[in-house]
Structure 1
Amino acid sequence: MNTRSDMRRKKNKQNIILNSLIGVVFILILIIGGNMLFSGDNDTAEDQQNSSAAKESESNGQDEDVKITEEENSDEKSETAHSDQKKNKNQDQDQDDHKSQEDKNEKDDQEKDDTQQDENEANTDGADEPIGTDQTGEHTSSYEKGSVDWNEKIKAIQMATGLDDSMTLWRLESGGGPQKSVAKVSPSDEESWMYVVNLQWVDQKGWKVTSVDKQNR
């Protein structure tokens, strides 16, 4: 039969066990809560480190991108400047070549004109002097082809104009007096213009060319 004291001891023992269990649970709560707190702080610190590292990496990446972009822009500007310089140089060279070609063409044209002019202009060297004659006695101008006087007229004309036997004789007639003649001649392959040659007879000296004019036909 349990006595009151036994019941009190039993109750005290139960209280001690209960209090011990409560203490153990409280300690476990403290331990778990501390671990969770420290774990959260570590995670926060790690997140902050990771965030800082990511920002630094992103910043470095942006710096690299900016550096690369600047280098690309610099290379592009350099290439553009080189291309523009080369283009300008080629344009200057083309202009120089074009000008040189124009100068050459102008010089060639001038030389051609001078040559053509030399060919077209009459050779009046010695035109002030009679050509000489085989005729004697009183002179009578003759317009009979093949006569001595005719042949001397032709010789004087050729000497004055520089033409040869292939020249085209358009007309040979009196020049307004018994001792004057006028001839119209041109190169054999020319029909657009002609020489008008005036001749004067000088006694004992032959026919003398007094003028040579170039006219359109």
Structure 2
Amino acid sequence: MPVDFNQRSRSELRAKRRKTNIILNTLIAIVIILILIVGGRIFFGGDNPNEPDVAANPPDSKKIADQEKNDQTKKSLNEENEAPKESEEEPEEKIEKESDEPNVEKVIIDPNWEPVGTEQTNGHQPSYNKGTVDWNEKLKAVSHAVDIPEDNMILWWIEGGEDRQNQAIATVSARGSEDTYRVFIEWVDGEGWKPTEVKKLIQNDKKQ
């Protein structure tokens, strides 16, 4: 039986078209599947390249806490520096006034005078004997009142006040100076002798 070449050619052509269609359909299906996958990731919570990767890089809570603590500390320090310090009171000014008393040029009172301290641990043991503890502490208080070092101070006279046990009056001057002072001191229990008043004399009435 003779072969129909035209029929054979048409069969081969149809076969080739079927294969081509299958390949094309397969490729189209793959493309559609990829589109669906990508679209699903975009529209249903997929990764957004424009957003930070929070899961991969969570915020460091310790660093945040430390930063907040440092900021609070700086704020507190600034507030302390700006706030007035009530505890640091300015010293009161020394008072100097003229006097109508005979032989007294002026009277000096310093509100900042404090007791000079004491080594007398068993109560006050008043003494007007040179070299005793109480005597030496009297001179220390007098020196403090007139701001003359003890080794440069001449003691012209010392006596008891109205309360001889707890008050004393000393007349002193600095070596090489004509300025003479009468210093009043009183005893403060447990704290020592404290200056209360200084009178600058016109003349040294204790100089012999």
- Same structural fold, with TM-score higher than 0.5 when normalized by the shorter chain: no
Normalising by the residue count of structure 2, what TM-score does the alignment of the two structures yield? 0.42
| Larger-gyration structure (1/2) | 1
Structure with the higher helix share, 1 or 2: 1
**Higher normalized contact order (CA 8 Å, seq sep 6+, divided by chain length):** 2
Q: TM-score w.r.t. structure 1 length? A: 0.41
